[in-house]
């Protein structure tokens, strides 16, 4: 995972956070993979198992992000891109706490020694 471009992938707004996402449906797993350069700038890369059919992938995206962020699924609203890979979401909550949480989750892991101790 990388923090490259995080400043434009998610932006604090009144009442929450605006988040750009690049969704990959029909993946082998559900997970957030980090920030990647998308056509319109940096976006959070998310993979889901669900197919892009009848909103299944969008629902799975909300599930993955709700779990990853520790917010209720009802706090996540899609404001653009419902039928595209590039989406814009609004996450309701404390803007600064959400920014801090995403930044921490995307921070590179500290290297560990063979015994598991952080270097």
Q: What is the pLDDT of residue 91?
A: 93
Q: What is the pLDDT of residue 75?
A: 92
For the full predicted model, state whether its pTM sits above 0.75: yes
Assign residue 72 a region: left if phi > 0, alpha if psi is -120 to 50, beta otherwise? beta
- Span 59-66, mean pLDDT? 92
Domains of the chain with CATH codes: 6-105 (3.30.1200.10)
Segment 65-113, tens digit of pLDDT = 999 999 999 999 999 988 888 999 999 988 888 888 888 888 776 665 5
Q: Is 33 exposed, middle or buried (0-12, 13-18, 19+ CB in 10 A)?
A: middle
Segment 5-20, tens digit of pLDDT = 344 788 888 889 999 9
Q: What is the pLDDT of residue 6?
A: 45
Which residues are CB-neighbours of 101 under 8 A, at least 6 positions away? Answer: 69, 70
Closest CA to 50 of 73, 30, 22: 30
With residue 87 as reference, give the H or E element that holds it: strand 86-92
pLDDT band at 114 (very low <50, low <70, confident <90, very high): low
Q: What is the pLDDT of residue 1?
A: 37
Q: How many CB atoms lie within 10 A of CB 29?
A: 9
Q: What is the pLDDT of residue 23?
A: 92
How confident is the prediction for the chain on average, in pLDDT? 83
* Secondary structure (DSSP) of 52-67: SSTTHHHHHHHHHHHH
């Amino acid at each position: 995972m990388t923090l490259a471009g995080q400043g434009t992938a998610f932006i604090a707004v009144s009442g929450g956070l605006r988040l750009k996402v690049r969704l990959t449906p029909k993946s082998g797993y559900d997970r957030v993979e980090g920030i990647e350069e998308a056509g319109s700038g940096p976006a959070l890369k998310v993979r889901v198992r669900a197919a892009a059919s009848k909103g299944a992938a969008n629902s799975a995206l909300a599930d993955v992000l709700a779990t990853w962020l520790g917010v209720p699924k009802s706090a996540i609203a899609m404001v653009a891109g419902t039928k595209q890979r590039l989406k814009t979401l609004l996450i309701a909550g404390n803007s600064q706490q959400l920014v801090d949480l995403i930044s921490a989750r995307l921070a590179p892991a500290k290297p560990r020694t063979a015994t598991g101790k952080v270097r």
